[in-house]
Amino acid sequence: MSSGTAVRPADKQHEARPAAAPRPCRLLAAAGLAGVLLTAALTVATGAGAHGALVGTPWGGGTTWALTAAATAGVLVLLWPALGAWRAAAASAGAWSAGRAADARREAAKSRESAWTSLGWCLAAGTVLGLVWFLLANDRAVQRTFLDGHVMSLSFADITNALGTNLFIAVVAQVLVMVWGLALALARLAPGRAGRPLRLLAVAYIDLFRAVPAIIIIYLVGFGLPLAEVPVLSDLSPTWFAIIALTLTYGAYVAEVYRAGIDGVHAGQTAAARSLGLSHGATLRYVVVPQAGRRVVPPLLNDFISLQKDTALVNVIGTIDAFNQSKIFAANHFNLSSVTVVAVLFIVMTIPQARLVDHLVARDARARAKGA
Partner 1 sequence: MPFLEIDAVRKNYGPHEVLKGIDLSVERHQVVTLIGASGSGKSTLLRCVNALEDIDGGEIRLDGDPVSGPGTDVNRLRRDVGMVFQSFNLFPHMSVLKNVCLAPVKIGGVPKAAAEEKAMALLSRVGLADKAGAHPDRLSGGQQQRVAIVRALAMEPQALLLDEITSALDPELVAEVLNIVRELADDGMTMLLATHEMGFAREVSSKVCFLHQGVLLEEGPPEQIFGDPKEERTRAFLRRIIEAGRL
Residues making contact with partner 1 (CB under 8 A): 266, 268-269, 271-279, 282, 286-287, 290-291, 294, 372
* CB of residue 294 to partner 1, shortest distance in Å: 8
Question: Is 200 or 272 the residue whose CB approaches partner 1 more closely?
Answer: 272
Question: Is 157 or 194 the residue whose CB approaches partner 1 more closely?
Answer: 194
Do the beta carbons of residue 107 and residue 92 sit within 8 Å?
A: yes
* CB of residue 293 to partner 1, shortest distance in Å: 9
* CB of residue 189 to partner 1, shortest distance in Å: 17
Question: Is 151 or 287 the residue whose CB approaches partner 1 more closely?
Answer: 287
* CB of residue 30 to partner 1, shortest distance in Å: 55
* CB of residue 19 to partner 1, shortest distance in Å: 47
Question: Is 231 or 268 the residue whose CB approaches partner 1 more closely?
Answer: 268
First-residue to last-residue Cα distance in the chain: 49
Please report how the helices 238-263 and 149-188 are oriented relative to each other, as an axis angle in degrees rounded to 10.
50
Question: Is 197 or 293 the residue whose CB approaches partner 1 more closely?
Answer: 293
Q: Which of 230, 169, 174, 216 is nearest to 317 (CA)?
A: 216
Question: Is 277 or 352 the residue whose CB approaches partner 1 more closely?
Answer: 277
* CB of residue 181 to partner 1, shortest distance in Å: 21
For residue 126, is it left (φ>0), alpha (ψ between -120 and 50) or beta? alpha
